[in-house]
Structure 1
Amino acid sequence: MPRSRLARTTTLAAGAAALCLSVPTAAVAHEGAGDVATNQRAFQVASSGAGQRMSHVANLQYDRTGEAQNGSDIEFVRIAGRDYALAGTLDKGMQIIDISRPTQPKRVAVFDCKVSQGDIQVWTKKNRVLASYTADGTVGAEGARSRCGRDLKLDPDDAGTVIVDITQPAQPQSVSFLPVPRGSHNMTIHPSGNFLYNSNSDLISSTRPAITIYDIRSPSLPKKVQDFRIPFVPTSLGSESHDITFNAAGTRAFVAALSQTLILDTTDPARPVQIGQIIDPTINLVHQSDPITFKRPDGSTRTLLVITDERAGAAASTECPGGGLHVYDITGAKVRNPVKVGAWFIPVVQPQDGAVCTSHVLRMYPRQKMMTIAWYSQGVRVLDISGLATAQGSPATIALGQGIGMREVGHYTFPDSDTWSFKTNKINRDGSFYGYGNDLVRGFDVYRFRGLPGRTVPPLAPRDLAPARTASSSALLAPAAAVVPAFAFALLLHRRSRRRVTAP
């Protein structure tokens, strides 16, 4: 595939012809069990690709079937001096991979929970390291028969989020289940570690969209707090929450809700209050809304919100670059009336053969002023976003590769790339790092980014979450058998008789 470097900013009028998208009417790649791989797959994945300032160093398959590996979300944890990637899948359980030596990733365990989506978050509670793992739709017969289903007595019609104890990464343990009848497409842990916000991401199936909030101060006995109502906006593919990001202080939540982005005051996380709303007709499907704050040259600060458009819910594509990144200024009082700075797209404008081409899971690294993002068939991308501190633009401004304060500084793509998420846990002073992709087709990929030309950054190093004191396995890991009796009645109240249709 051609890799031309387009480094220009233009107006909507000049760029409309290149970026006009033929948008399917339904998010077919996300219905039922969630995403499906749309790229072709041989018995073995491709061993070589093309990129800039990046190289591929390792691939790890989740099984030996030769079929699509169904990789989804990815998170990281450092425990007792070793680094681990937690790789979600659509039906193969949580893959726990030792990445202490990035060029030689080694799977140390699989949390056997055969559910769809597998979004992951990690947090600590006293002497435990915990992770959440989502069941979108229903767990189904296979999920109920897998270990998490047996541990927690799940019914095939159950949907929601499983909490897992990973204090000993090689021995993950089921802790509890948070039933959400409309499913957990994604969920987000409040920075306090005391509350979980659930995003069901349903298509237009209800005029009463809501975020389900759970109190998880006692992880073994989570308690539902409320279904927080959000506005019904009957445009795009729906108005339910798809994903939520908190600011570091936990006082704001940014809700990516398909046809809208909501800004909530979460000073009291049990009782959020809506303070802002963005409805942008140029965004087909709001997938993620993440804030970042910069220090300007004059010493003042500027806060921006980056919104990803997962065009058509990751349906098969006929063109690239698909949906891009839309940037809003939310500094100070603008948080209640955000001002659009412009939109950014990867520098690939070409016909597409049906494999998905659109923005997906991103991660921003505020101190390093960098971003990583997965772009499905267009692989993995690295951006220098330091220019956002002073970038100027308008709702009509479009950037391809470089503009509105962002420039692509690295990428890598395989012929069979179908990458869902791309993140890193460590960054060196020269900006170089090993990055980890979780791919619907390929499984687990490790990449090496060679660094930022002419710029140094503060290093990023993970915090070790090893328990502060020693505890026996029996005391440290709450047995599922002790949890089930207290939760059995709640589970009975949340049985479901049909599967649901979801957006991305």
Structure 2
Amino acid sequence: MPTNALARLAAASVLASLVLVAPPASGHGDGDVATNTRGIEVETQGQGKRMEFVANLQYDETGGVQNGSDIEFVRLGRKEYALAGTLRKGMQIIDITKPRNPRKVAVYDCAISQGDIQVWRTGGRVLASYTADGTVRAEGAQSQCGRDLQLEPSDAGTVLVDITSPSNPQSLSFLPVPQGSHNMTLHPSGDYLYNSNSDLYTSGKVPNVTIYDVRNPLDPKKVVDYELPFTPGSLGTESHDITFDSSGDRAYVAALSQTLVLDTSDPRRPELISKIVDPTINVVHQSDPFRVQRPNGTWRELLIITDERAGAAASAECPGGGLHVYDITGKKEQSPEKLGAWFIPAAQVQAGATCTSHVLRIYERQKMMTIAWYAQGVRVLDIAGLATYQGSATDIALGDGIGMKEVGNYVFADSDAWSFKTNKIRRDGSFFGYANDLVRGFDVFRFKGLQDRKVAPLKPKDVAPRKQSQQARALAPLAVLLPAIVVVGLIRRRLRQDG
């Protein structure tokens, strides 16, 4: 943690180099592109801190870049699955019940990009959304989802998929969004999807978030295009990604030049609460809230905003865009207060491969975070110190500081990690983590755990449709017949009495 003047000066010099505007990557029109390179085979030896490499799984046999993007998880009964999105290679459905031996069970053939994923249950079905950022193009229209849903090459939006049987995913419906679906976010009610198109200024459109009612997944209905405030700066003003709080009463919209806090207690009619415009953030990529309990028992509400510097363009240096932390407790929600900025401890020349923060996940109860950093691999952070940290907008940390500490990482020479998450954490903080990598494909790592504290375990939630037990199914006919048997018995008894 930079505490003396010299360290602060060095950190400030790094920060100054990060906010230079570079040409935008193509990622905000049809998915990010791989900037790192690979050999005939992916690397199996890298460098790490309290992490080990466990396994790699390729999406095809080309030997080329695998175009991995988003990743989500679902537990169905006793089985655990990772759903890995790709750029034009379909949704990869991977059995991770045994993390050291991941096994592909199916590919949902949907050659669209960028494949952002959300998962939920509606009645007796388990559903996933799968996004087309930019148009479906000919290959998307000719793949399974295009044929099933009669998509045209010019279509853009989000596909809904039934994954109740993971080995046999089925197309359900298509949500048309002319500006495309860079990301799609499920409201915690499970009834609504909020679209982020992430268009650049060049689109010339009024910035908006399209809201869909998906209570009937076979026939989703558009609710509204919720208009966003126009805020000049960066690459545009459109939403790149949206995160809800656990109650669904708040949405945090990462909108390239700004972060918007919305009241979504009525998810059909959002209302603007506040706006964050931070000149030290080049491209607002993700804005995620979490709560942490102070030693006195009160709760602090925080927001972590990631900077995908230059839209993930090729980098000349690291650490690229970092993590910017805001206090939004109570009345501060109306005027969020910045506590500082955090960067990975890798101030170095990068020589062309992307180096910047990307997809993160916060594990609130465990006070931990995982994040992908493109060519600088995958990272694990301990964020417990944010419960009490008192900072300012000028506070900067490299690896350890502002209440955040990097406790694990792993980097290969050919790393180009888009997302890094886990679905299960043990009491000692250890877990198997899963990366979806543009170059490498599907990677499994094991983080060895925290050295100085225990955490509440994180267990995967079973979203399998409720099924009757074998005994209940056997007794079901009797449940139907029993009332009739009782009535017949009463009639016979009455007849005998009358006779």
TM beyond 0.5: yes
- Contact 1:207 1:232 (C-alpha < 8 Å) held by counterparts: no
- Do the aligned partners of 2:316 and 2:350 also contact (CA within 8 Å) in 1? yes
Q: Which residue of 2 aligns with 1:8?
A: 2
Q: Contact 1:359–1:374 at 8 Å: present in 2 too?
A: yes
Aligned mate of 1:350, from 348, 351, 354: 348
Give the C-alpha shift of residue 452 in structure 1.
0.1
Q: Is the 8 A contact 2:28 2:198 kept in 1?
A: no
Report the Cα offset of residue 15 of structure 1. 2.2
> What residue is the counterpart of 1:363 in the other structure?
361
Residue in 2 aligned with 1:401? Answer: 399
1:191 aligns with 2:188: yes
Q: Tell me which residue corresponds to 2:304.
A: 306
Q: Give the equivalent residue in structure 1 for 2:241.
A: 243
How far apart, CA to CA, are the structure 1 residues paired with 2:22 and 2:57? Answer: 35
1:78-157 pair list within 5 angstroms: 78-157=75-154
Whether 2:318 is the aligned partner of 1:324: answer: no
Instruction: For 1:16, give the aligned amino acid.
Output: A
How far off is 1:399 after superposition? 0.5
Task: Give the AA of the match of 1:100.
Answer: T
CA–CA distance in structure 1, aligned partners of residues 460 and 2 of structure 2: 36
The counterpart of 1:279, out of the listed 277, 280, 286, is: 277
Deviation at 1:206, TM superposition (A): 2.6
- Structure 1 residues 300 and 28, CA, compared in 2 at 3 Å: closer, same or farther? same
Tell me which residue corresponds to 1:453: 451
Contact 1:115/1:134 (<8 A) preserved: yes
Deviation, 1:30, is 1.7
Aligned residues: 465
Counterpart Cα distance in 1 of 2:2 and 2:123? 50
Which of 217, 233, 248 is the aligned partner of 1:219? Answer: 217
Report the Cα distance in structure 2 between the residues aligned to 1:62 and 1:69, rounded to whole angstroms. 6
Question: AA paired with 2:427?
Answer: R
Aligned-partner SS, 1:21:
helix
Distance 2:354 2:343 in 1: 15
Task: Report whether the alignment pairs 1:30 with 2:24.
Answer: no
**CA RMSD of superposed structures (Å):** 1.3
Report what 1:388 is aligned to. Answer: 386
CA contact (8 A) 1:87 1:96 kept: yes
CA distance in 1, matches of 2:408, 2:114: 28
Higher gyration radius (CA): 2
Q: Secondary structure at the match of 1:184?
A: coil
Q: For 1:276 and 1:32, how far apart are their aligned partners in 2?
A: 28
CA 1:222–1:397 in 2, change beyond 3 Å: closer, same or farther? same
The change in CA–CA distance for 1:32 and 1:199 in structure 2 (over 3 A counts) is closer
Deviation at 1:28, TM superposition (A): 2.3
| Cα pair distance change 1:90/1:9, threshold 3 Å | farther
**In the aligned structure 1, how far is the partner of 2:214 from the partner of 2:29?**
28
Q: Which moved more, 1:28-37 or 1:228-237?
A: 28-37
Report the Cα offset of residue 149 of structure 1.
0.3
1:263 to 261, 264, 271: 261
Moved more, 253-262 or 199-208: 199-208
> Which residue of 1 is the match for residue 15 of structure 2?
19
8 Å CA contact 1:346, 1:408 repeated in 2:
yes
Task: Tell me the distance in 1 between the aligned counterparts of 2:28 and 2:223.
Answer: 28
> What is the alpha-carbon distance in structure 1 between the residues aligned to residue 16 and residue 247 of structure 2?
39
Please name the residue that 2:171 is paired with.
174
Name the CA distance, whole Å, in 2 between partners of 1:207 and 1:61: 38
| Aligned equivalents of 1:433, 1:163: Cα separation in 2 | 30
Note the 1:448-487 alignment, pairs <5 A: 448-469=446-467
Shift of 1:24: 4.1
Which has the larger displacement, 129-138 or 38-47? 38-47
Q: TM-score, normalised by structure 2?
A: 0.92
Amino acid at match of 1:171: N
Larger mean Cα displacement after TM superposition, 31-40 or 207-216? 31-40
Measure the CA separation in 1 of the matches of 2:26 and 2:399. Answer: 27
Which runs of 5 or more residues in structure 2 are unaligned? Answer: 470-499
Q: State the shift of 1:26 in Å.
A: 2.5
| Cα deviation, residue 318, structure 1 | 0.3
Q: Alignment partner of 2:147: what SS?
A: helix
Shift of 1:190: 0.2
Deviation track 1:241-298 (CA, whole Å, cap 9, x = no partner) reads 0000000000000000000000000000000000010000000000000001011111
User: Structure 2 counterpart of 1:155, which letter?
Assistant: E
Q: Does 1:434 align with 2:428?
A: no
Alignment partners' CA distance in 1, 2:296 and 2:432: 34
**8 Å CA contact retained: 1:9, 1:399:** no
Q: Give the superposition deviation at 1:208.
A: 1.4
Query: How far is the alpha carbon of 1:43 from its aligned partner?
Result: 1.5
Distance 1:298 1:128, change over 3 A: same
Measure the CA separation in 1 of the matches of 2:12 and 2:299: 33
Q: Which 10-residue stretch deviates more, 202-211 or 370-379?
A: 202-211
Structure 1 position 8, deviation (Å): 3.1
> 1: CA distance between counterparts of 2:70 and 2:427?
27
Q: 1:234 matched to which residue of 2?
A: 232
Distance 1:81 1:274, change over 3 A: same
Q: Deviations over 1:319-375 (max 9, x none)?
A: 000000000000001111000000000001011110000000000000000000000
Gaps of 5+ in 1: 1-6, 472-504
Q: How far apart, CA to CA, are the structure 2 residues paired with 1:97 and 1:14?
A: 44
Q: CA deviation at 1:229?
A: 0.3
Return the letter of the residue paired with 1:347.
Answer: P
Q: Distance between the aligned counterparts of 1:262 and 1:419, measured in 2?
A: 27
- 3-state SS, counterpart of residue 8 of structure 1: coil
Q: 2:287 & 2:121 partners in 1: Cα distance? A: 24
- Tell me the distance in 1 between the aligned counterparts of 2:299 and 2:27: 38
Larger relative contact order, structure 1 or 2 (CA cutoff 8 Å, min sep 6): 1
Output one character per residue of 1:440-462: Cα deviation in whole Å (capped at 9) or x when no partner.
00000000000000211011011
Q: CA deviation at 1:392?
A: 1.1
CA distance in 1, matches of 2:456, 2:23: 43
TM score, norm. by length of structure 1:
0.91
Q: 2:279 corresponds to which letter in structure 1?
A: P
Which one-letter code corresponds to 2:86 in the other structure? T
